[in-house]
């Protein structure tokens, strides 16, 4: 796979070795976001240290403050305060729980966002994401 026509999207599904092989062969191909991988489980992320801290979150639409302990996910805490947020895989793979971040800096741990999206800090998957700051404001 040395060249692909502009606008080509690559879709691949399979056990961990296969998507990673495809990803490594297509990383240098423009544009970013043209590679779509479906995984059976999330791969190990050695570049992401384990999150071990609690943080506060706010549901902007309702003004509801939320305390997210170190041992619970943001999605889990949100489920306890109506209205509920959509979710599916709860592993950062499907994108169902993608949520807009209005203030602060998220700590994404998903497998969907591009590096550019991670840098902007404007969205996160609340099933696996954490916060890099003491308080996070979400468009919920």
The Cα 78–Cα 59 span in angstroms is 9
pLDDT per residue as tens digits for the range 65-97: 999 999 999 999 999 888 888 999 888 888 999
The better pLDDT of the pair 1, 37 is held by 37
CA 32 to chain CA mean position, Å: 16
| Distance between CA atoms of residues 126 and 73, nearest Å | 7
* pLDDT for position 106: 94
Each residue of 16-68: pLDDT tens digit?
Answer: 666 667 667 666 655 666 666 665 555 555 454 545 689 999 999 999 999 99
Ordered structural domains, the chain, with CATH: 10-39 (no CATH), 55-138 (3.10.20.30)
pLDDT of residue 128: 93
Over pLDDT 70: what percentage of the chain?
66
Distances (CA, A) of 83 to 61, 89, 139, 140: 10, 19, 12, 9
């Amino acid at each position: 796979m040395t060249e692909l026509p502009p606008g080509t999207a690559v879709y691949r599904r399979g056990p961990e070795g296969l998507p990673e092989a495809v990803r490594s062969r297509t990383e240098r191909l423009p544009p970013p976001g043209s590679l779509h991988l479906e995984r059976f489980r999330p791969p190990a992320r050695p570049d992401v240290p384990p999150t071990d801290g609690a943080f506060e979150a706010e549901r902007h639409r309702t003004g509801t403050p939320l305390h997210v302990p170190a041992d619970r996910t943001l999605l889990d805490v949100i489920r306890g305060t109506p209205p509920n947020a959509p979710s599916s895989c709860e592993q950062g793979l499907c994108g169902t729980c993608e949520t807009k971040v209005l203030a602060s800096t998220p700590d994404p741990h998903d497998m969907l966002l591009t590096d550019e999206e991670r840098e902007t800090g404007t969205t996160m998957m609340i099933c696996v994401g954490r916060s890099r700051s003491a308080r996070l404001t979400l468009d919920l």
